[in-house]
Structure 1
């Protein structure tokens, strides 16, 4: 059996890392990947360990979180320290050590690897972890699917019924060339009727959250969501007088577009509150849950077409990560 070894920070993993490791996997029977991190890294180490484990399930992926020198000039015992780290992670003899940089040659010699393989020239020469962190949306195409949700922005259309959310969600998704997640509550009520209790509302909130998180890896930089658990909490206030404890008041989106009730109400068979006073009360409930959750939000009002233009402007104003 031939054994290989790769180490790195993978902060975050990108196409260059994937190419390196996929190359190594084809040249050994067993590959160990050591993911190293420090406590103040801009992307938490356990998150990177999870990404790498998901990306390479047939590799032995190990994390290392001790505070140790990062370069030979940092400590006179740099190489003995890292020899011990590699030995602990890979107690068996290393047949082939792989790296995308020439530093790997010295590391291979220090740990007694039989061969050093420099995977180069780099397939993606302009891609680095620092470049990706600085402009993740610019480098979106080189981010592996499990990594994209970390840098995606989730935009939730929030507000009372009959304010244009479900009409504008797919239109906004088309405008931004991305996906949208439909409102589960509408489907639930169409199937089960309009008589909702705390259990039914909690199921709606939980299902909406699950649908959204399942869609997030497939979006293009932004994900448009037609309502979320905070919207369901506002519904709970309207229907039950309060939001049940089973619907936590925390923001699930990066930004909320709160749609005002200054447009006509229309009955589509799954709506409850045509009266102007109830619509205003619903609007207050929607603002209340945003405030209690500490969410970031923008008010969207005006005629139908004006709403689209305001929503586009609000989404474009949200800073990229």
Structure 2
């Protein structure tokens, strides 16, 4: 029985890691992939690279998703207490790994031949196999990604990793301010996916505009929109554009129902977006069979109401105004700054 392990921080897990994992799994009967974590160290590394903190279970999840059809791979996560790289205690770390595996280790895999001096002491019965030390197959390292930026090395991230780093841009505003058109155009320009306004989908299903919408429809809009967002996030390329979100849903409940719904407010409390582009209603109002709030004074008062709802929830917005072309140019600049390399 050949039992091996391949360990690392995997911050983030990249194509080089995946290559080594798959190659190692073909050399043994059982391969343990060990995610080593130390929250203090890991948070510092993420902060230094201006990256979001990557919890160890998130990292383990990435590996699990990429290797789910490899039955001889098992993923473990082990805390490396006080494991700052400068004074890492290899012997203590080895003890924790052996205790977690509970099997005789015959092979140890890494991409660094210099590790042999430690592995020979810790796993004297095991063979140290060095995988692609020169990184010729996939010329990348996690340190390089953290240092140079994740978007510069996007192609080196497996598909399961990309949603974690994808920026989410919500395009919001009142009726007939160009949200849907801008979202579609931005998605085309940035070669990515988008989430359409789910309230429009429900209105079209009802068939009578907003007149017959009742509370349960707003619940469906809330859940349906969020589910669609989760699905599109898996397909996105660096950035995902969202047409409206739950503050806008709550705005419509207030305008049409006369009150706010707690279930929508709960969704607002949990949603996270990296950028809110707020479109001012300074373009012509367009009748499409579902809009009823086109009077100039009504547009102005509703615009003030929606802005106040964002302010009350301490959600920062960036306002965009002008012609449709001017809006698109402004939006492009803000999105480029968000994913700047």
TM-score normalised by L of structure 2: 0.86
2:305 matched residue in structure 1: 285
Aligned length: 318
Structure 2 counterpart SS, 1:18: helix
1:10 matched residue in structure 2: 10
Contact 2:16 2:139 in 1 (8 A): no
Moved more, 281-290 or 300-309: 281-290
Deviation at 1:125, TM superposition (A): 6.0
Indicate how the Cα distance of structure 1 residues 69 and 312 shifts in structure 2: closer, same or farther if over 3 A, else same. Answer: closer
Deviation at 1:122, TM superposition (A): 1.6
| Superposed CA RMSD | 2.1
Deviation at 1:293, TM superposition (A): 3.2
Deviation at 1:150, TM superposition (A): 2.0
Q: Which runs of 4+ in 1 moved over 3 A?
A: 68-71, 123-126
| Structure 1 residues 38-60: Cα deviation after superposition (integer angstroms, max 9, x where no partner) | 11212222221222222223421
Mapped to 2, the partners of 1:236 and 1:177 lie a distance apart of 33
2:175 is the alignment partner of 1:164: no
Mapped to 2, the partners of 1:180 and 1:69 lie a distance apart of 41
Deviation at 1:307, TM superposition (A): 1.7
Q: How does 1:183-198 map to 2 (within 5 A)?
A: 183-193=197-207, 194=210, 195-198=212-215
1:114 matched residue in structure 2: 126
2:224 is the alignment partner of 1:207: yes
| Structure 1 residues 80-129: Cα deviation after superposition (integer angstroms, max 9, x where no partner) | 31231111221111122111112442344212443221111323564221
2:117 is the alignment partner of 1:130: no
| Structure 1 residues 131-183: Cα deviation after superposition (integer angstroms, max 9, x where no partner) | 21231000000011121122211111101121111112111111122222211
Structure 2 counterpart SS, 1:218: coil
Moved more, 250-259 or 284-293: 284-293
Mapped to 2, the partners of 1:178 and 1:56 lie a distance apart of 26
Indicate how the Cα distance of structure 1 residues 313 and 133 shifts in structure 2: closer, same or farther if over 3 A, else same. Answer: same
Which residue among 76, 91, 100 is the counterpart of 1:89? 100
Mapped to 2, the partners of 1:11 and 1:105 lie a distance apart of 23
Contact 2:151 2:339 in 1 (8 A): no
Contact 1:34 1:89 in 2 (8 A): no
Which residue among 57, 76, 83 is the counterpart of 1:62? 76
Mapped to 1, the partners of 2:80 and 2:258 lie a distance apart of 51
Contact 1:86 1:111 in 2 (8 A): no
1:224 matched residue in structure 2: 241
Moved more, 166-175 or 135-144: 166-175
Mapped to 2, the partners of 1:222 and 1:5 lie a distance apart of 35
